[in-house]
Amino acid sequence: MAAQAMAGLRLKRLPQIAYYDATGFEDLHISEYVIVDTDKCREAARVVIAPQQLRMTTVGETLRPILRRATAFDLSQWQQLRLHEEEALTLCKEQVEKHSLPMRLLTAEYNFDGSHLTFYFVAEGRVDFRALVKDLATLFPARVELWQIGPRERARLIGGLAPCGKELCCEKFLSDFPKASIKMAKDQDLPLGPNAAAGICGRPLCCLAFEQPVYQAAKGHMPRVGEAVVTERGVGRVIARNVLMETVTVQLEDSANVTMRVVEVKRVARSPHGGDDEAEENEET
């Protein structure tokens, strides 16, 4: 199989990077716009990884080719269309109310030449919107599609700030959603109240999956909360631990609380039946 030049492109507002055959466009630079075909329609895409940054490589599947560079007219037309997306969304909401459909529209999105218009929505279950699409086809001179998305996709589409105060990872850079679970929150000693370890999507925080390997590596040499330990000040029980700082807070027999490094405490022999860390190994959401 012959080697080919590739470029990494970002389509629309999503953070995923799609790789395209850049044969004939090896001189593309970052932030240039090109025209490509997708599964849905023809789109304008921004170059985020230039061909010069990727070695000529042999790929196991045929990549779609870059069709051409985007012209100033393409980009101007696209910008004008985006100014009309809010108006399109309002018209679609009116039609949703007319048909009394149990769905909540989130946003409208034109492709670069206005030939394709997509409405994104959320709903509790499946929605029969065939009659709605017929009415929308009479309102817009474009192919209209409605896409139902889940809570995580909704958060990525709308955007916002995570509990850490930074932009959502899914909006900023994630190309896919990592598998995060409540068990990870337990491993990381996070509060487990309602939504305590959840993002604005209501699902477990994606960052739990990124940090899990660090906590798993630390679990082997750190005592659990509730475990008896011996310190230079006497016997006590662990009431808190900071995995990243590698410290534990111990309540001594005289009720005094002291925080010390893990290497300064000695663990009492553990039960052969294991503990909480093992008991909840398979609990996920």
Q: Chain-centre distance of CA 178, in angstroms? A: 7
What does the DSSP assignment read for 103-156?
Answer: -EEEEEEE-TTSSEEEEEEE-SS----HHHHHHHHHH-SSEEEEEE--HHHHHH
The CATH class given to the 80-149 domain equals alpha beta
- 191 pLDDT band, cuts 50/70/90, is confident
pLDDT of residue 15: 65
Q: What are phi and psi of 183, to 5 degrees?
A: -60, -40
Looking from the CA of 175 toward its CB, the CA atoms found within 13 Å total 8
Higher-confidence residue: 255 or 36?
Answer: 36
The CATH class given to the 220-279 domain equals mainly beta
Q: Is 174 exposed, middle or buried (0-12, 13-18, 19+ CB in 10 A)?
A: middle
CA distance 246 to 218: 8
Mean pLDDT on 217-237: 87
What digits encode the pLDDT tens for the residues 235-261? 999 998 888 888 999 999 888 899 999
Q: Is 41 exposed, middle or buried (0-12, 13-18, 19+ CB in 10 A)?
A: middle
Cβ–Cβ under 8 Å, residues 59 and 23: no
Q: Residue 76 in 3-state DSSP?
A: helix
Question: What is the residue whose two structure tokens read 């490509």?
Answer: 36
pLDDT of residue 271: 52
What digits encode the pLDDT tens for the residues 87-121? 999 999 999 999 999 999 999 999 999 999 999 99
Q: Residue 240 in 3-state DSSP?
A: strand
pLDDT of residue 283: 43
pLDDT of residue 216: 84
Q: Would the pLDDT of 3 be above 90?
A: no
Cβ–Cβ under 8 Å, residues 20 and 6: yes
Question: What is the residue whose two structure tokens read 């860390």?
Answer: 277
pLDDT of residue 218: 80
Amino acid found at 204: P
Cβ–Cβ under 8 Å, residues 77 and 112: yes
The full set of domain ranges for the chain reads: 6-70, 80-149, 156-218, 220-279
Amino acid found at 133: V
Strand partners, 146: 119
What digits encode the pLDDT tens for the residues 264-274? 988 886 555 54
CA distance 197 to 181: 9
Sign of the torsion formed by the C-alpha atoms of 64, 170, 245 and 247: negative
What digits encode the pLDDT tens for the residues 129-168? 999 999 999 999 999 999 998 888 888 888 888 888 888 8
pLDDT of residue 2: 55
